[in-house]
């Protein structure tokens, strides 16, 4: 039996918690600011290298704290400049994180995971096929930014999108704390306009998010009506479109400049007709919106295909003529399975979903 006390991973602590931790050990509150800067701004994990801290504090830190970051197991560069990292976590779980530079040196966007796997079972997403294991801790979420910042070196991490593995709103507390940490001047100095949370529509948590954060909101929509969305995004059966859009309006109310970004993956013959585009126009007519059309990124075993380029362009033009700011996302990192919906990592599935699939297959 190991009686050694477990050390506190300081990556798990935001500013108030770190101040409390420091003061509880008899040290001055301002040392929390120094620690945050050393850990996040400078990327230092060895307390002996934090030279402006007293010897007594450094000894206390060595005895009772650590800075434990996710470890890179595999780094995959894409031909387009995108980089995917496979990161090792505790309990032999692994997640994937993707860095997307704009190629001009002005914008470096990190796609951050919030869970090991995902429990929402969206039909067109490879991550959903892996099952679900657990939520990520604050340290494991902010640790992805730590890793990216170290790899970028003199280049700066400019944007974070919570669009990696998992549904961020089902890990709300840890995600909000990590997003708040990203915005501190002493860490990554990201403004609220450069942090985006993407959700499939966990409506109650979306109302809670409004109370705790004001980062940008993106919604994985993918269908203009409940019948089709029930098939593609099963959580819609619990929180249908009317409830979801009401929550979206609530999230941005009070700021006439804000819009919700709606993500819409383009599936050939499924949701990409002119009829679907016109229905989408009607659906979003009461929500200040931007629409992001996403070419479907295939993965082994999928039943879907990406809409042809001409079809996507025609779909886009209907939205633009209706007055919506509409972009057709350029696929990045698909040659290394780092594109939207392709992240898998390594998941010890605790949801029993894979067992159910196997049983269903044996009965076919």
> What pLDDT digit, counting tens, does each position of 312-338 carry?
999 999 999 999 999 997 765 455 454
Query: What's the topology of domain 8-66?
Result: DNA polymerase; domain 1 (1.10.150)
Residue 73 β-bridge partners: none
The pLDDT of residue 350: 59
DSSP 80-91: TS-EEEEEE-GG
Q: Where are the domains of the chain?
A: 8-66, 71-355
**In 200-341, alpha helices (H):** 203-212, 226-232, 241-252, 274-283, 309-321
The pLDDT of residue 318: 98
Catalytic residue among 118, 216, 306, 340: 340
Q: How far apart are CA 287 and CA 270, in angstroms?
A: 24
The rounded Cα 254 to chain-centroid distance in angstroms is: 25
173 φ/ψ angles, rounded to the nearest 5 degrees = -60, -45
Residue of 348, 290, 278 whose CA lies nearest to 314? 278
* The domain over range 71-355 is classified in CATH as 3.90.1300.10: no
State how beta strands 289-295 and 115-117 pair: unpaired
340 is catalytic: yes
96 is catalytic: yes
Compute the C-alpha angle 239/245/251, nearest 5°: 110
The pLDDT of residue 351: 53
The pLDDT of residue 92: 80
Dmax (CA) of the chain: 69
* Tokens standing for residue 43: 């990327």
Catalytic residue among 96, 140, 167, 263: 96
CB 95 within 8 A of CB 345: yes
Quote the pTM value: 0.89
CB 328 within 8 A of CB 293: yes
The pLDDT of residue 304: 92
Residues of the chain with pLDDT under 50: 1, 333, 336, 338-347, 349, 353-364
The rounded Cα 311 to chain-centroid distance in angstroms is: 29
């Amino acid at each position: 039996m190991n009686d050694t006390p477990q050390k506190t991973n300081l990556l798990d602590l935001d500013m108030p918690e770190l101040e409390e931790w420091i003061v509880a050990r008899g040290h001055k509150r301002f040392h929390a600011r120094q620690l945050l800067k050393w850990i996040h701004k400078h990327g230092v994990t060895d307390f002996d290298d934090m030279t402006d801290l007293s010897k007594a504090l450094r000894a206390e830190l060595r005895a009772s704290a650590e800075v434990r970051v996710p470890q890179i197991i595999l780094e995959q560069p894409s031909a387009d400049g995108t980089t995917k990292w496979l990161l090792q976590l505790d309990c032999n779980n692994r997640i994937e994180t993707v860095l997307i530079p704009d190629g001009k040196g002005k914008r470096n966007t990190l796609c951050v995971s919030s869970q090991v796997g995902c429990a929402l079972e969206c039909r067109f997403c490879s991550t959903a096929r892996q099952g679900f294991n657990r939520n990520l801790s604050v340290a494991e979420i902010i640790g992805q930014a730590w890793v990216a910042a170290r790899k970028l070196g003199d280049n700066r991490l400019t944007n974070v999108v919570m669009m990696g593995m998992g549904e961020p709103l089902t890990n709300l507390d840890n995600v909000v704390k990590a997003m708040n940490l990203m915005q501190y001047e002493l860490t990554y100095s990201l403004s609220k306009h450069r942090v985006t949370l993407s959700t499939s529509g966990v409506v109650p948590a979306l109302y809670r998010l409004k109370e705790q954060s004001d980062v940008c909101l993106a919604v994985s929509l993918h269908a203009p009506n409940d019948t089709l969305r029930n098939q593609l995004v099963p959580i819609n059966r619990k929180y249908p479109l009317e409830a979801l859009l009401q929550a979206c309006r609530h999230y941005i109310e009070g700021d006439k400049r804000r819009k919700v970004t709606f993500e819409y993956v383009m599936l050939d013959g499924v949701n990409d007709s002119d009829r679907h585009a016109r229905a989408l126009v009607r659906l979003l007519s009461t929500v200040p919106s931007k629409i992001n059309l996403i070419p479907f990124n295939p993965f082994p075993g999928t039943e879907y295909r990406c809409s042809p380029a001409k079809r996507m362009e025609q779909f886009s033009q209907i939205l633009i003529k209706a007055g919506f700011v509409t972009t057709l996302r350029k696929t990045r990192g698909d040659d290394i399975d780092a594109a939207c919906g392709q992240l898998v990592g390594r998941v010890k599935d605790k949801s029993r979903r894979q067992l159910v699939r196997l049983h269903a297959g044996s009965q076919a």
